């Protein structure tokens, strides 16, 4: 088992060192994001989700990653500007990390150890195959905009394929259930 989620060091997109413990007691939706992906418009829906449930304790956390076809090539400053000017992202964004492979950030090692399966992964694998792109092998993150739902105790509830959009009723219902549990 990997370390406790709340002990994991992260860096904000502004460059400030912190720990995920700053979000203890919140429901987290952790998303690996990218600015040059066909799924990038999910930023808008993620922001709406954040705004809708923030008062109830949800925090959407964006982690830019350049692991898939180099679809996040920018610097942290460029990513922050893009997210703000293009999608008015207000949810917390973090410094670019690796979410797959040998350089994988401890956060993603933890998420994958806690929840090795990705819900509806096959949908994304089929989509990638349509572009002649070989998907990663489980339990690796399958692509940009995979989502991990973490309950208030820091337990990973589920990982969701990028095809599960922020408006998908399956995800919304799981968030609402996590928010209503103590």
Helix (H, G, I), strand (E, B) or coil at 167: coil
Yes or no: say if 27 and 152 are a contact pair by the CB < 8 Å rule.
Answer: yes
Would you call 169 exposed, middle or buried from its count of C-beta atoms within 10 A (0-12, 13-18, 19+)? exposed
CA 16, 83, 108, 21 dihedral sign is: positive
Which is catalytic among the residues 37, 45, 172, 179?
A: 37
- In angstroms, the Cα distances linking 150 to 29, 111, 130, 159 are 6, 9, 31, 9
Q: Is 83 a catalytic residue?
A: no
Report the catalytic residues: 37
């Amino acid at each position: 088992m990997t370390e406790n989620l709340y002990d994991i060091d992260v860096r904000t997109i502004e460059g400030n060192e912190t720990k995920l413990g700053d979000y203890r007691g919140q429901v987290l939706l952790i998303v690996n994001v990218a600015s040059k992906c066909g799924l990038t418009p999910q930023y808008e829906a993620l922001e709406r989700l954040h705004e809708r449930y923030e008062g109830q304790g949800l925090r959407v956390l964006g982690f830019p990653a350049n692991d898939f076809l180099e679809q996040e090539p920018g610097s942290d400053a460029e990513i922050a500007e893009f997210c703000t000017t293009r999608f008015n992202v207000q949810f917390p964004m973090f410094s670019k990390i690796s979410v797959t492979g040998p350089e994988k950030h401890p956060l993603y090692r933890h998420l994958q150890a806690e929840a090795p399966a990705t819900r509806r992964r096959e949908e994304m694998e089929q989509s990638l195959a349509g572009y002649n792109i070989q998907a990663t092998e489980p339990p690796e993150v399958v692509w940009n905009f995979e989502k991990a739902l973490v309950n208030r105790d820091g337990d990973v509830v589920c990982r969701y394929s990028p095809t599960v959009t922020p408006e998908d009723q399956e995800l919304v219902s799981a968030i609402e259930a996590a928010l209503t549990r103590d």
